[in-house]
Amino acid sequence: MRINAASVSLSVILFAAAVQLNAGSGLPHTWVSATGDDGNTCAFAQPCLTLAAAIEATAAGGEVSFMNSGDFAAAATVTITKSIIIAATGVQAGFLTKDLDGIVINAGADDVVVLRGLDIVSQGSTAGADHRGIKFEAGGVLFVEDCRVTGFTKRGISIESSTDNAKAFISNTIVRNQTNNGIVINPPSVNNVVVMDHVQVVNSTAIGLAVNPGGRVDVTNSTFSHNAGAGVWATGPAALSLESSLITDNGVGLELLAGAAARLSNVNVAGNTIGFSTAGGALNSFGNNHATGNTDNAVPTINTHLSPL
């Protein structure tokens, strides 16, 4: 049987093109290892060394996993520009930075990013520096699950998506020892929605949770404690709902400035230097909250007593 050389050449070209296209689209699942190499493919048998390399090798909508514990940061901020799941399960995946943001999400309006089980730690920054542990700069939805964010100079977690109605879900996460604010919601002239459950924001040198205009935040089962400024702070127009949570041992427990509205149910505001500073905003209570041990012993003005459903 005779084989046409031109047909063989065309087949080789088409095959090479298909391989190149597949390589460009990335792998659906990549892996990182403390003994990996960024020159590898990031497949299970050839893991990468850093998260940045694995993200680049992963297809949009794919997943990055960690094979073992270690420090997986490179000498640059990790930037995410597509839908992706980054999940550390059963290992300690650390990201040690200095004079850098930790992880920045700058994705598309329909993109969904999941960060799970990560330790994001600043080892120090130049005085006056502006660094964030997690910065949600653009994108549709962000999930932060089972993470720890420590020691950043500006904010531990900053929700500031330029995508209107972007959503962030933060759960089972500790934000501690920031040298400014803990968690800040600060959308740029759009609306961002944040849901927090089982979150601890502790030992910030300024505010624990700050909600700026355009932010709507729903908090359940969370703690804001030992922050030098307010444990929870909001300015309007912004909306804040707190359920089954503790605000304790802060400079101010709950502070509302003009245009901010807060709804409280089963919230304990205790042991703060000033319990409430809410004259500028609207405080709505379900009547089942507790204020005790605050140094000022002031009773806040309740704008509305909401009846339980």
pLDDT of residue 66 exceeding 70, the answer is yes
Instruction: Say whether pLDDT at 11 is over 70.
Output: no
Q: What is the pLDDT of residues 82-134, one digit of tens each?
A: 999 999 999 999 888 888 999 999 999 999 999 999 999 998 766 667 899 99
Quick one: tokens of 50?
């850093």
Question: How far is Cα 79 from Cα 51, in angstroms, rounded to an integer?
Answer: 10
Map out the domains of the chain as residue ranges: 70-305
* Residue pLDDT, tens place only, 234-285: 999 999 999 999 999 999 999 999 999 999 999 999 999 999 999 899 999 9
Compute CA distances 189 → 128, 142, 160, 218, whole Å: 26, 19, 10, 20
Model confidence band, residue 18 (pLDDT cutoffs 50, 70, 90): very low
CA distance 197 to 220: 5
In the CATH scheme, what is the homologous superfamily, with its name and number, of domain 70-305? Single-stranded right-handed beta-helix, Pectin lyase-like (2.160.20.10)
Tokens representing 28 are 């659906």
**The pLDDT of residue 301:** 86
Share of the chain above pLDDT 90, in %: 79
CA distance 226 to 203: 5
Across-strand partners of 143?
114, 169
pLDDT higher at 248 or 304: 248
Contacts of 17 (CB under 8 A, 6+ apart): none
Place 175 in a pLDDT band, splitting at 50, 70 and 90. very high
Residue 1 has pLDDT above 80, yes or no: no
User: What does DSSP assign to residue 185?
Assistant: E
Least confident span in 135-144, 159-168, 296-305? 296-305
C-alpha closest to that of 71 among 98, 41, 46: 98
The answer to whether the beta carbons of residues 81 and 60 sit under 8 Å apart is no
Q: What is the CA radius of gyration of the chain?
A: 23
What is the pLDDT confidence band of residue 20, given thresholds at 50, 70 and 90? very low
Q: Is it the case that residue 41 has pLDDT exceeding 50?
A: yes
Q: Give the pTM.
A: 0.90
- Beta carbons within 10 angstroms of residue 285's beta carbon: 17
Look over the chain and give the mean of its residue pLDDT values, rounded to a whole number: 90
Neighbours of 82 (CB within 10 A): 19
Name which residue leads in pLDDT, 195 or 309: 195
Task: Band the pLDDT of 23: cuts 50, 70, 90.
Answer: very low
**In this model, does residue 9 exceed pLDDT 70?**
no
pLDDT score of 305:
83
- In three-state secondary structure terms, 269 is strand
Where b means 16+ CB within 10 Å and e means fewer, 127-141 reads: eeeebbbbbbbbbbb
Query: Is the distance from CB of 61 to CB of 45 less than 8 angstroms?
Result: no
